[in-house]
Amino acid sequence: MTTEQSAAAHTGTDVVLEARGVTKHFPVRRTGGDVLARRRRTVHAVDDVSLKLRRGTVTALVGESGSGKSTVARLLARLYPLTAGEIQLGGEAVGAGRGRSFRTYVKQVQLIFQDPFASLNPVHTVRYHLTRALKIHGRAGDGDADLQKSLAALLERVQLTPPHQFLDKFPHELSGGQRQRVAIARALGADPQVLLADEPVSMLDVSIRLGVLNLLRDLKERLHLAILYITHDIASARYFADTTLVMYAGRIVEGGDSETVTQHPAHPYTQLLIASAPDPDRVADEEAQEEAGSGEPPSLITPPDGCRFHPRCPKAMERCRTEPPPRFDLADGQWAACWLYDGAEGQEAGK
Ligand SMILES: Nc1ncnc2c1ncn2[C@@H]1O[C@H](COP(=O)(O)OP(=O)(O)OP(=O)(O)O)[C@@H](O)[C@H]1O
Ligand SMILES: [Mg+2]
């Protein structure tokens, strides 16, 4: 078996990065007011999130604004310390330090941001950005010839060809899609195993989004990367991701293969998301949400007891107000954290 074949054979089964019960609470500082109001309060941005990113697999993390998606990405990138929980890379728990093991971690797990304009330095060329990434990660090779070869290979990998046309361009001389490709090339400069892509296409023109998503899919297939694809747009998750996780108010409420989750959503929140966003059109999305009378997501400073979705849930029962639902396994690997599935249809998965 060639290396490529053996990598392909493991595709979809090897867990590269795992979050176990990951939690992040941000302190909120309030000034003035009485003593009670000045008491330390916290934003429960991410609570008890567990997920697995597998080699050669795209996992979508879907949810509305403020649900905690970017915080999950930043925790997985180790930009923030965890409040609780554990992250494992290649089966080994990672510590909290910033030393050598942190640098090794960052090389393996690269983050791509929503706004490529903000993430690239406007006074530097593409050549500078990519050279720097290669040097930081010890991949610039011996001498100039090696470096030139590596730079060309990175640009070819993100389909910016011929490379010499792009190397000396500044960010403002590129289109949004080309800038995001450069940001992806820079991440690939580390030769990572995991890409965390936080809304990588939401700031791009609709016409070029598909091209960038197809590029990420191509990288998943060729380089067997584990990709976390963060999005508001559940329709794109169906198209692009193998697995879909749905996040609501800091918790993951449903997961499974993308086809099942989008075609047969189990959690009432996923059902609402799909009913209100049949296409990526923002305007339609907002109108549909108003029609559903679905209201606002809850405050994460004082999240609702029980299931956090219960104040908006058309199917809420008494126990939903007080008892947080565990994960219930459904058919075909789908699961939902919803009391509707307690009983005959599902078995409690345990946590
Ligand atoms: N550094 C921080 N300090 C305090 N609160 C924060 C911080 N970062 C995020 N939050 C809060 O945590 C919650 C989750 O934010 P996050 O950015 O993770 O959501 P999101 O799902 O990525 O939203 P969006 O879709 O708008 O990008 C929000 O209530 C946000 O205000
Ligand atoms: Mg975000």
Residue of the nearest CA to atom 18 in ligand 1?
68
CA of 225 to the centre of ligand 1 (A): 26
Q: Which residue shows structure tokens 């249809």?
A: 345
The yes-or-no verdict on residue 289 having pLDDT over 80 is no
Going by alpha carbons, the residue nearest to atom 5 of ligand 1 is 26
Residue identified by tokens 């029609």 is: 291
Q: Which atom of ligand 1 is nearest to the CA of 70?
A: 22
Strand partners, 255: 245, 335
Between residues 30 and 47, the one the model is more confident about: 47
Range from 106-120, 193-207, 285-299 carrying the lowest mean pLDDT: 285-299
Q: Which atom of ligand 1 is nearest to the CA of 64?
A: 25
* Structure-token match 């199917």, residue found: 315
Closest ligand 1 atom to Cα of 71: 18
Interval between CA 72 and ligand 1 midpoint (Å): 10
What's the rounded mean pLDDT across residues 285-299?
56
pLDDT digits (tens, 9 = 90+) for 80-108: 999 999 999 999 998 877 777 888 999 99
Model confidence band, residue 350 (pLDDT cutoffs 50, 70, 90): very low
Mutate to test the pocket of ligand 1, among 40, 61, 67 (most ligand atoms within 8 A of CB): 67
- Residue 201's identity, in one-letter code, is V
Give helix 143-157 / helix 126-136 axis angle, nearest 10°: 110
Which distant-in-sequence residues (6+ apart) come within 8 Å of 147 by Cβ? 131, 134, 140, 141
Degrees to nearest 5, angle at CA 16 with 108 and 336: 130
The residues that bridge with 194 in the sheet, in sequence order, are: 109, 226
- For position 101, what pLDDT does the model report? 84
pLDDT for position 95: 81
Atom of ligand 1 nearest to the CA of 72: 18
Complete DSSP assignment for 25-67: EEEE---SS-TTTTS-EEEEEEEEEEEEEETTEEEEEE--TTS
Specify the residue for token string 């909290």: 96
Cβ neighbourhood burial of 294 (10 Å; 0-12, 13-18, 19+): buried
Instruction: Return the minimum-mean-pLDDT range out of 2-11, 191-200, 322-331.
Output: 2-11
pLDDT band at 212 (very low <50, low <70, confident <90, very high): very high
Model confidence at 178, pLDDT cuts 50, 70, 90, reads very high
The residue nearest atom 26 of ligand 1, judged by CA position, is 65
pLDDT tens digits for 193-210? 999 999 999 988 888 899
pLDDT at 282: 41
Which residue out of 71, 236, 251, 252 has the highest number of ligand 1 atoms within 8 Å of its CB and is therefore the one to mutate? 71
Predicted pLDDT of residue 110 = 97
- Report the pLDDT value the prediction gives residue 117, as an integer from 0 to 100: 80
Q: Is 0.75 topped by the overall pTM? A: yes
Tell me what the pLDDT averaged over the chain comes to: 87
Q: Quick one: CA dihedral 274, 279, 280, 285, positive or negative? A: negative
Instruction: Provide mean pLDDT across the span 296-300.
Output: 79
Where does ligand 1 bind, in terms of residues with CB under 6 Å? 26, 43, 45, 63, 65-71, 232, 300
Ligand that comes closest to the CA of residue 62: 1
Q: Cα(325)–Cα(253) distance, rounded to whole angstroms? A: 9
- For residue 285, pLDDT over 50 is answered with no
Q: Which tokens sit at 72?
A: 């999950």
For position 279, what pLDDT does the model report? Answer: 52
Q: What percent of the chain has pLDDT above 70?
A: 86
pLDDT at res. 242: 97
Q: Is pLDDT at 247 greater than 70 in this prediction?
A: yes
